Chains A and B, each alone.
Chain A
Amino acid sequence: MPIIEAEGLSKTYRVYQKKEGLLGALRGLFRREYKEVRAVDNVSFRIEPGEIVGFLGPNGAGKTTTLKMLSGLIFPTSGSARVLGHVPSERADTFRRRFALVMGQKNQLWWDLPAADSFQLHREIYSLPTDSFTRTLGELTEMFGVESLTRQPVRELSLGERMKMELIASLLHQPQLLLLDEPTIGLDVVAQVTIQKCLHDYNESRGVTILLTSHYMRDVEALCSRVLVITHGKMVYDGPLAGITEQFGRAKLVKLQFEGSDSPEDLGQYGEVTSRLGPVVDLKVDRAKVADVLALILDRYTVVDMSVQDPPLDQVIARVFEEGRAQHEADSQRV
C-alpha cells in the first residue's frame, strides 16, 4: 500500500499585477489585472513505505507547495492526495501524529530556550510516554552527535547544530513519514554530510519513508534512489537517479590526451571544447555521435589516453531546469 498517493495535484494562485505610474494606479482601483500562476500543475506519483525520494527542482518550481499539500497545510486547487491513508487537508489528529515536516531555514524550536526544553514541549504535545521518549531522545542525540549541546539555548548554536536539533525534534514522536524541505540549505559541507548519513541510517534501521526537496544535487545523490524532477510546477521525470542522465543527458564528456605537448587546434568541428590544458582536452560530444567522433579522431591523431564519461549530474539537471524555464516562458507568451 503506497504511503503517499498523489493524483493530478494542482495549485493555482492569482497574483495581482501592479500597474506603473499614477494612471496605472488609478486604473487599478477599478479593474485589477491578475495573472494566474500554476505553482503545481497536475503532479501525480506514488511513494511506497521505506523509500527515500528526492524532489528536485529550481527555486519556485513548486516543490515546497507540493510538500505543503501533502502535509495538509494547503488545499489543492484540483486533484487529490492520500497520505498515510488520510486526506491531508482534513488534518486529522491521527494523521498529524504520524508524520513530521521540517523546513530548512525555518525554526520551530524555541529561540531562547535550550533544545532540551523544546523537546520536553514536544513530548507533551505528542503525548509521548516518558521512558520511550527518553530512550528515543538518547538514541537520536547520540546519532546526530549533539548530546553535549542540548542544554544550550538554541540561538547560540550554529546553523548545522540547529538543523540537527530540528531533525531530532521531528523524529521524537517516531513518525512513519518524514517530509524535508531544503534541509541542508545554508549548511557547511561537514554538517550536510553528517545529516545525510544520519537520515540514511535512520531510514535503514527504522524504515521511515523520507521525501526530501532540494535544489542541491549533493543531498539527492547521497540519499535518494528515486528522484522526481519538477520545473515550473510540472513533473518532468520520475525514476532512478541514474536514469536522468540517460533521459536528459544529450552529450557525453570525452577526455583526450594527445601525444606530445600540445593538442590539435581544430577539434571544435567534432564537438564543444570545454577545456584545454596542453595535451589534455575535454570535449563535449553528442551522445549519438560519440562513436563516430572517436573513430575520426583516433584515425587522424595519436591519442595517448582517453575516457568517455557522463557529464556531471548537476550540469544535466541545470540544463533541464533551463529548458523548462524557456518552455514555460514560451507558453506564457502564447497565452
Chain B
Amino acid sequence: MHQFLRYVRLWTALARFSLVRELAFRTNFLVKIVVEMLWLAILIAFYETIFAKTSMVAGWDRYQYLFFLGFYFALGGLLETLFLENCNNFADLVRTGDLDFYLLKPMDEQFLVSCRTIDWSCAPNVLMGAGVMLAALVFGGWEFDVGRLLLFLITLVCGTGLAYGFLLLLTAASVWFMRNQSLFEMWWLFSTLMRYPREIFSGTWAYPAGLFFSFVIPIMLVTNVPAQVMMRAIEPKLVAYAAAATGVVLWASRRFFKFALERYRSASS
C-alpha cells in the first residue's frame, strides 16, 4: 500500500509540474485547444454529412454512432494527455542514452517512462468528448440504467488499459523499428482501426480482418465494447473477452518493455 501511495504522490507532483510548465506557454496552450475543438467540429461535420445520406452505418443509428464518436474523441484525449508524449520521447531517450537516468532511479522504469509528463492541453478533449457522448444520450432518448452505466465505466477502464498496452508495445518496438516515423504517426495510423464501429469490416476480406483486429490483436475492442455496452445490446462474452484481453496485453506489453530495456542495456556503451 505504501508503495502504491508513493507512486500516486510522485504522479501528482509530475502532473502539477507539467501544468505549471504548460501554463507558462499560454498561447501555445490555447492554440492547441482551439485546434482540437476545430478537429472535433470537423469530425462532427463529417458525421452530419454521412447521416444526411443514410440513417444507419453498419447497423449503428445516428445517436449510437454519435456516442461512439464522442467516446473515441474522449478516449483519444485521455491517452494523449497521460501517455502519448512520453511514449514518443522514448525513442529519443534510447538514442541519446538519457534512458540511463531512468534506469538509475529506485522506481519502476515503465512508470517513469510512461508518466513523466502530463499533456494538459489535451485534457479538454476528454470533456469535449464527454459532452458529445452526453448529447448522444440525451437526444437519443437513452434510458437511464445504473447497470449499464457501471458496466460502461468498467469497460472504459479496460479500454484505456488495453489501448495503453498497445501503445507501450509500439513504444518498446520503436527501439528496433520506426527509424523513419515518430510514434505519434504510428499511433495515429494504428488507432484508425478503433475509429469506427467494427461492423464496417464486412465483406470477403474485410470480415476476417475485422475478426483479427477484434480478437487476435484486439485494438478494436477498445472503443467498440464500451460504446456497445452503453448504446446497444450487451454481449457478456465480448465484455469478458475484452477484460481478459486487457490483462493479457498489459502483461505482454510490460514483458516486452522490459525486454527492450535489457537490449538497450546490452548495446549501451
Contact = CB atoms under 8 A, between A and B. Distances in A.
Interface in B100-145: 100-101, 103-107
Interface stretch (B6-14, B45-53, B162-170): B6-14
Interface stretch (A108-116, A204-212, A254-262, A295-303): A108-116
B17 interface: yes
A120 B107 CA distance: 15
A112 B269 contact: no
Given A106-B98, A112-B24, A113-B17, A125 B265 contact: no
B266 interface: yes
B100 A73 contact: yes
A75 B21 CA distance: 37
B13 A73 contact: no
B106 A124 contact: no
A126 interface: yes
A318 interface: no
A13 B267 CA distance: 8
B106 A73 contact: no
B268 interface: yes
B58 interface: no
Contact of B100 (A13, A68, A112): A68
Contacts of B101: 106, 108
A188 interface: no
B105 A96 contact: yes
Given A73-B100, A73-B103, A113 B21 contact: yes
B10 A73 contact: no
A141 B268 CA distance: 33
Q: How large is the interface on A (under 10, 10 to 19, 20 to 34, 35 or more residues)?
A: 20 to 34
B20 interface: yes
Nearest to A123: B13
A106 B93 CA distance: 12
A109 to B, nearest CB: 10
Contacts of A39: 269
Interface in A71-117: 71-75, 91, 93-94, 96-97, 100-101, 103, 106, 108, 110, 112-113, 117
Contacts of A110: 17
A168 to B, nearest CB: 16
Nearest to A14: B267
B106 to A, nearest CB: 4
A106 B107 CA distance: 20
Nearest to B9: A124
* Chain B at the A interface: SS class: helix
Interface in B17-58: 17, 20-21, 24
Given A13-B269, A74-B265, A74-B268, A96 B21 contact: no
Nearest to B108: A93
Contacts of A96: 104-106
A203 B103 CA distance: 26
A144 B69 CA distance: 56
A125 B105 contact: yes
Contact of A73 (B9, B104, B107): B104
A73 B268 contact: yes
A28 B13 CA distance: 50
The 8 closest A-B pairs by CB, nearest first: A96-B106, A108-B101, A124-B10, A93-B106, A97-B106, A112-B21, A74-B268, A73-B100
Interface of A: 13, 39, 64-65, 68, 71-75, 91, 93-94, 96-97, 100-101, 103, 106, 108, 110, 112-113, 117, 120-121, 124-127
25 contacts: A39-B269, A73-B103, A73-B104, A75-B266, A94-B106, A96-B105, A100-B104, A101-B104, A106-B97, A106-B98, A108-B98, A108-B101, A110-B17, A113-B20, A113-B21, A117-B17, A117-B20, A121-B13, A121-B14, A124-B6, A124-B9, A124-B10, A124-B13, A126-B106, A127-B6
